Amino acid sequence: MAWSRLRSDARVLRQISLFSRRYAVTTLGYGEAPDGVVEHLRLPDDVVSWHKDRRLLVQRRFETAYRRAPVTRAAAELLAGQRRFTVVLADDVDTLPLALDLSPTGGVHADLHEYHPRQNEESWRWRAFVAPYYRWLVRRYGPLADSVTTVGEGIAREYRLRFGLRAGVVVNAPQHVDLEPGPVGDPLRLVHSGNAQRHRLDVILEAMELVRGPMTLDLYLMPNDEAYLAQLRERYAASDRVRIHPPVAPHELPATLNAHDVGVYVLPPVSFNHLWALPNKVFDFVQGRLALVVGPSPEMAALVRRHGLGVVSPDFTAQALAETLDGLDAEKVTRFKAASHAAAGELSAEQQVRGWERAVDTLAARVGG
């Protein structure tokens, strides 16, 4: 169960791919049925997953707010009937109460993708009206899950300290791809892939105006903010240093990245989840056999240092990033690319999904599944 468009939700697709080989998998979410499932319960496209009754949130009537939410009602209607499940995998805490309502014979596993009580804390409206609801949701229903996973150690630690939840960690690593590191280019070829969002790109773009060494930046961007993306295309239309490309399908991304030298990502810590982020793209860079340059986000920095994948910028400013990039040379980048190649097996979905596999298999075994 996930309140996302399943065919484009990389983390959920990994779960479906893993379990559809050995179990009869039913999915509940938005969009067309994913491959490999025996049944798909499709949420109506016009139902907005985050809509809640503001009056109920203000009154702290959180249970009523959850039960009356349009997505809860739509999902409950799809689930009505005689269906019985052995295990329910609830993606994000929003789906957890409904998963528990189903009383699966083996139990419920909750995969908490982020730290929900501080999801959008950069917004005062969210802090005032929505954060209390998510704190209640985690406190009320989190302990009722039979097992829990999340995306990184920092977020797992916060769930344990604040709510007593013992969460395993399954990072957002893609499938292993059989590639070799390519030769280092001249100029150095930087690359970034992901959403077209100001707070995710402005530091990198400003750094490109400050670097002194010969280097280019290719951006493969999703059109989630079309106005901003249009501004970028106009701004860099005649640039020979920054190039804007259409997004690349996930299964094609490693090969596309492999034609570059350095994957770059600096995410200013405007919220708790941004501070502790360990996103897909970091692991995509590894599968592309790239050197990595990241900001001092604890999870990303620790991964880069542990495996010798690249360099960590000393802070989140464009000046610091530019100086870090100027400190690279062909010898260093060659060494970092080789380290990515060495770590690609360990930092792949095939290894990381074992956390889900152990959890779900344990629950299924309760009833001989």
- Largest Cα–Cα distance of the chain, in whole Å? 66
pLDDT score of 327: 97
Nearest 5 degrees, angle CA 209-CA 230-CA 212? 10
pLDDT score of 369: 46
Name the average pLDDT for the chain: 95
Structure tokens at 246: 């259409």
281: pLDDT strictly greater than 70 = yes
Whether the model clears a pTM of 0.75, i.e. scores above it, the answer is: yes
Per-residue pLDDT tens for 181-232? 999 999 999 999 988 887 779 999 999 999 999 999 999 998 888 999 999 9
Q: Which residues, listed in sequence order, are joined to residue 193 by a DSSP beta bridge?
A: 220
Per-residue pLDDT tens for 143-189? 999 999 999 999 999 999 999 999 999 999 999 999 999 999 999 99
Strands 188-195 and 167-169 come out as unpaired
| Domains (range + CATH), the chain | 6-170+353-365 (3.40.50.2000), 188-348 (3.40.50.2000)
pLDDT score of 368: 65
CB 116 within 8 Å of CB 92: yes
Per-residue pLDDT tens for 7-65? 988 899 999 999 999 999 999 999 999 999 999 999 999 999 999 999 999 999 999 99
> Ramachandran region of residue 166, left (φ > 0), alpha (ψ -120 to 50) or beta?
beta
